[in-house]
């Protein structure tokens, strides 16, 4: 069994609001672990618009989604947050002493004084291709993400899709697999031109194959794939042999397991008060796009404000007898020490 990680705060979601919460909680000496289903920090900024400029972050007249994420990571770094990627928080349970037990789908278990839900539009989950019976193969020979490359060593892999994930994994996995094939429904790709060129070069060198068409059915036994039937663009069916299928059809946001955590929800959002940004459960907070209150704006700057007020309330919940004095980072030596600048 997995060892339980004991900490002050577990933050569900490493989007911009979760990242800034590390800073605000850190100023109050609260240590954070962040869990995100993505393989990287930044939430929507990183997954949906890394290259797009954002114009309404105070004092940053223009910043890309990627750069904002980098800067938030840098600002949080002095507080030593620990990041757990590729993990979905599945269970959040209140313990008798008022603390929380948090469990992920990958088997991590935390015990924390407070939990902050910064889950944005919900968990990013893979879009599944409409192939009948695909569920029987999921997790055995059909995978929607590459958690460990080693899983695919020596396999006969078929990747389906035409975006960056499909192209990147085709290129990155081809040296360790037995055989690599890519299938896409058309000859155009929504991926970096450099990756597309690399893939074409591998095909030229006969290191992989590329197919045009759509997978219509899977063949195999007990979840072990043996091959797929494809409808080609000329309308004719043909077979591809493979033992592993990786469909990369993009991600959608779903509320996910939050619905089962026993908190009040309103239209898939979490109602909070605007003093503490606390949910219907004391000690369980919600900030950023996932929360709702009168006048809520789904903007990054709103989430930053919410993080600051939430941190004050979280500190009081975790340390009911401690005194909390208001301090500025400009003039407080004690805050500057925590930041490593004094
Ligand atoms: P998110 O960024 O959504 O991050 C939440 C994270 O939580 C995700 O990574 C998700 O995977 C993770 N998560 C959820 N559930 C779980 C779970 N159970 N377990 C583990 N992880 C989980 N805002 C602006 O202020 N200015 C703009 O110019 C702007 N432009 C935008 C342009 C586009 C195209 C889009 C889509 C949004 C834009 N926004 C903009 C909105 C902004 O991106 C969001 O307000 C912001 O990302 C919300 O941050 P967040 O941290 O609350 O959530």
Predicted pLDDT of residue 148: 85
Nearest residue by C-alpha to atom 40 in ligand 1: 299
Mutate to test the pocket of ligand 1, among 34, 43, 263 (most ligand atoms within 8 A of CB): 43
How far is Cα 253 from Cα 119, in angstroms, rounded to an integer? 10
CA 50 to chain centre: 14
Nearest residue by C-alpha to atom 53 in ligand 1: 120
Nearest to 265 by CA among 241, 303, 292: 292
Predicted pLDDT of residue 254: 87
The angle that helices 193-204 and 164-173 make with each other, rounded to 10 degrees, is: 40
Q: What b-and-e string marks burial along 92-101, b requiring 16 or more CB atoms within 10 Å of the CB?
A: bebeeeebbb
Cα(44) to centroid(ligand 1), Å: 4
Q: Which atom of ligand 1 approaches the CA of 16 most closely?
A: 51
- What does pTM read for this prediction? 0.84
Q: Which atom of ligand 1 approaches the CA of 44 most closely?
A: 2
Q: Which atom of ligand 1 approaches the CA of 36 most closely?
A: 21
pLDDT per residue rounded down to tens, the chain (342 residues): 579 999 999 999 999 999 999 999 999 999 999 999 999 999 999 988 888 999 999 999 999 999 999 999 999 999 999 999 999 999 999 999 999 999 999 999 999 999 999 999 988 888 999 999 999 999 999 999 888 899 999 999 999 999 999 999 999 999 999 999 999 999 999 999 999 999 999 999 999 999 999 999 999 999 999 999 999 989 999 999 999 999 999 988 888 899 999 999 999 999 999 999 999 999 999 999 999 999 999 999 999 999 999 999 999 999 999 999 999 999 999 999 999 998
Mutate to test the pocket of ligand 1, among 52, 57, 107, 119 (most ligand atoms within 8 A of CB): 119
Q: Which atom of ligand 1 approaches the CA of 35 most closely?
A: 20
Cα(258) to centroid(ligand 1), Å: 16
Predicted pLDDT of residue 123: 83
Q: Which atom of ligand 1 approaches the CA of 38 most closely?
A: 11
Secondary structure of the chain in HEC code, one letter for each residue: CCCEEEEEEEEECCCHHHHHHHHHHHHCCCCEEEECCCCCCCHHHHHCCCCCEECCECCECCEEHHHHHHHHHHHHHHHCCEEECCCCEEEEEECCCCCEEEEECCCCEEEEEEEEECCCCCEEEECCCCCCCHHHHECCCECCCCCCHHHHCCCEEEEECCEHHHHHHHHHHCCCCCEEEEEECCCCCECCHHHHHHHHHHHHCCCCEEEECEEEEEEEECCEEEEEEEECCCCCEEEEECCEEEECCCEEEECHHHHHCCCCCECCEEECCCCCCECCCCCEEECHHHEECCCCCCCHHHHHHHHHHHHHHHHHHHCCCCCCCCCCCCCCHHHHHHCCCC
108 within 8 A of 87, measured Cβ to Cβ: yes
Q: Is 230 in the pocket of ligand 1 (CB under 6 A)?
A: no
Predicted pLDDT of residue 253: 84
Cα(146) to centroid(ligand 1), Å: 22
Predicted pLDDT of residue 2: 72
Mutate to test the pocket of ligand 1, among 44, 88, 108 (most ligand atoms within 8 A of CB): 44
Q: Which atom of ligand 1 approaches the CA of 290 most closely?
A: 52
Nearest residue by C-alpha to atom 50 in ligand 1: 120
Predicted pLDDT of residue 174: 97
CA 129 to chain centre: 20
Q: What number of CA atoms fall less than 13 Å from residue 217's CA on the CB side?
A: 6
Predicted pLDDT of residue 48: 87
Q: Is 37 in the pocket of ligand 1 (CB under 6 A)?
A: yes
> ipTM score here?
0.99
């Amino acid at each position: 069994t997995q060892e339980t990680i004991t900490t002050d705060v577990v933050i569900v979601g490493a989007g911009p609001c979760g990242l800034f919460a590390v800073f605000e909680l850190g100023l109050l000496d609260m240590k954070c672990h962040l869990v995100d289903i993505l393989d990287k920090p930044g939430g929507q900024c990183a997954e949906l618009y890394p290259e797009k400029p954002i114009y309404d972050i105070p004092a940053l007249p223009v910043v890309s989604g990627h750069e904002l994420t980098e800067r938030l990571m840098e600002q949080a770094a002095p507080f030593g947050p620990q990041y757990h990627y590729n993990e979905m928080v599945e269970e959040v349970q209140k313990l008798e002493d008022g603390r929380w037990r948090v469990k992920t789908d990958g088997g991590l278990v935390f015990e924390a004084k407070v939990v902050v839900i910064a889950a944005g539009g919900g968990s990013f989950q893979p879009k599944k291709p409409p192939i009948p019976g695909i569920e029987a193969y999921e997790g055995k020979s059909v995978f929607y993400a590459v958690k460990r490359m080693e899983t695919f060593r020596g396999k006969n892999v078929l990747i389906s899709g035409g975006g960056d994930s499909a192209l990147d994994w085709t290129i990155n996995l081809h040296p360790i697999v037995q055989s690599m094939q890519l299938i896409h429904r058309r000859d155009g790709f929504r991926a970096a031109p450099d990756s597309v060129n690399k893939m074409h070069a591998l095909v030229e060198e006969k290191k992989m194959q590329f197919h045009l068409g759509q997978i219509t059915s899977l063949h195999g036994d007990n979840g072990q794939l043996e091959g797929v039937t494809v409808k080609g663009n000329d309308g004719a069916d043909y077979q591809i042999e493979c033992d592993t299928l990786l469909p990369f059809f993009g991600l959608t946001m779903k509320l996910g397991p939050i619905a089962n955590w026993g908190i009040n929800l309103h239209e898939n959002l979490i109602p909070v008060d605007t003093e503490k940004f606390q949910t219907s459960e004391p000690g369980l907070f919600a900030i950023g796009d996932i929360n709702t209150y009168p006048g809520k704006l789904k903007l990054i700057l709103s989430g930053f404000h919410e993080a600051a007020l939430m941190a004050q309330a979280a500190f009081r919940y975790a340390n009911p007898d401690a005194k909390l004095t208001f301090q500025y980072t400009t003039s407080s030596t004690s805050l500057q020490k925590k930041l490593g600048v004094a």
